[in-house]
Amino acid sequence: MLVKVRSVANVGLVALPVTVEVDVAEQGFPGFTIVGLAGKAVEEARERVKTAINNSGMDFPPKKITVNLAPADLPKDGGAYDLPMAVGILAASGQIQDSRFMIHDSIYYGELSLDGDLRATKGVLLVGLFARSISPSNPPLTAETRAEGEKVRGGNLKGVLPEIFVPIESANEAAVVEGISVFPVRNLKELVDHLNEVSVIKSLGYLVIEDLVEDERVEYDLAEVAGQEQAKRALTIAAAGGHNLVMWGPPGTGKTMLARAMPGILPPLLPAEALEVTRVYSVAGLLQPGESLVRRRPFRSPHHGVSAAGMIGGGSNPLPGEVSLAHLGVLFLDEMAEFPRSVLEGLRQPMEDGQVQIVRAAAHVSYPASFTLVAAVNPCPCGFLGHPRRECRCSELAIRKYRGRMSGPILDRIDLHVQVPAVEVEKLSNAPSGPPVTAKTRAGGEKVRGGRGSYDGSGDVRKKVIAARKIQEGRFKSDGIFINSQMKNRQVRKYCPLNGETERILRLAVEKWDLSARAYFKLIKVARTIADLGGEKDILPVHMAEALQYRQMG
């Protein structure tokens, strides 16, 4: 008997349909053959599926079993085909009395353990998105239809909502996709009883993304950083416009602390952004069992020993790297000059395009990589070049070699360059102490430093960043982008007109410093963000003057 069961193959961030064709023949020698360009993990499914069926109290047919994973030219890998193969074998051998096993029916996806339980399986969110794309209910269902869809097994609503059967530990991933019916399966026996209508698996309700997204937990508050007002201002601009930032300074001046305060001033993820980030983490298998969504903006801080594949992504079955795991969040490179030059050079394309292309002989995948780069760099190998009280012992050759690890093209792609000097003792003694800062500091900004000035906590800065981003969201609502750093040159010309004096200041700076065309447009983008933070409609000379302060590299 021939049975066809539906599943999917995840290629990058795209789910492609796979038909698992199972034939249990009455004639021929007993055996279990899998064809259809199956990888090593799929080949090993023979033993997993056979043992899981036997240990679930069912009979594995001692017959000639042939499984074809179609289309045959699409590579398949991973353990997610265990469940559709097991269902196909049980249906073909008459142990599931159900007439729904045709290509257009439910989708089955999940890895089996030897006792018949289903393990958490990566990529379930993509399965849900694929099921939604083939839903006959596109565009989105009405509230009434969605409510009726919850009764899909008990009523006569087959075809209203696409059904997917996935492991219970991964089911919440798919439940954030509206317009599908997600059945969380604990084990193979439970699924067989459901299909035979002995018992019913209750489908999950739709999880509203807006209710799941959380504000960032502030690890470091800007009010806790002593001094460094210029660096804090640069950090605010970077957060408001999504601009790349590098901080130059000796050890112990607060560069790392400033960078780790960045998540606390970023706005929460929008629902569409949360879904986009979660797709990457689902494919990478980084969601915890039972987790439904990435709730906060990513903050990735890889060690300087990371490989090129670890940073950019790769492997025979290409997986996302750190640049993609930092999508719509922050990629922090502490001691940037210590990273291998080959790794840093690999950042060029994703920094420019907002995505990374990974090409292999068997696959060509694309992952999003629209991140904000924040880097910390010492001025020399010992770190004390230009320090007011410590002597630098590095030779000129050693300094040139150290800085040469960061190429000109990489530094040119960084919008903001800020000096983080050694902190004066007076500022240290007047800095607020004790984590965390008070609600009063976070809400209203506490006056500090003995009346010689003040600085805001992360809560106040975050409000300014959110206000600036709302301005940008309204500006770009018809362009498919969200922040100033994502503007292309034509959009810069459209949204960033310069008056005569502002244009004159920019031209003088470009001629004096011999800046590239890329730097020219980046300066305009930064000035646009500074104007947004000030609530100004036009880019004024003062905005451009401040932007120019951040182009002088360390």
pLDDT value for 430: 59
Give DSSP secondary structure letters for 97-155: --S--STTS-EE--EEPTTSBEEP-TTHHHHHHHHHHT-TT-SPPPHHHHHHHTTTTTS
Give DSSP secondary structure letters for 409-475: HHHHT-SEEEE-PPPPHHHHHTS--SSS--HHHHHH--B-GGGS-B---HHHHHHHHHHHHHHHHHH
pLDDT value for 116: 97
pLDDT value for 136: 60
pLDDT value for 283: 94
Give the span between the Cα atoms of 244 and 234, in whole angstroms.
Answer: 10
Domains of the chain (ranges, CATH numbers): 2-207 (3.30.230.10), 222-478 (3.40.50.300), 487-554 (1.10.8)
Over the range 178-204, which residues count as b (16 or more CB within 10 Å of their CB) and which as e? bbbbbbbbebbbbbbebbeeeeebebb
Identify the segments of the chain with pLDDT beneath 70. 98-104, 136-160, 362, 424-455, 553-554
For the chain, first and last CA: distance in Å? 72
pLDDT value for 224: 86
pLDDT value for 220: 85
What is the value of pTM for the model shown? Answer: 0.87
Give the span between the Cα atoms of 120 and 449, in whole angstroms.
Answer: 52
pLDDT value for 100: 54
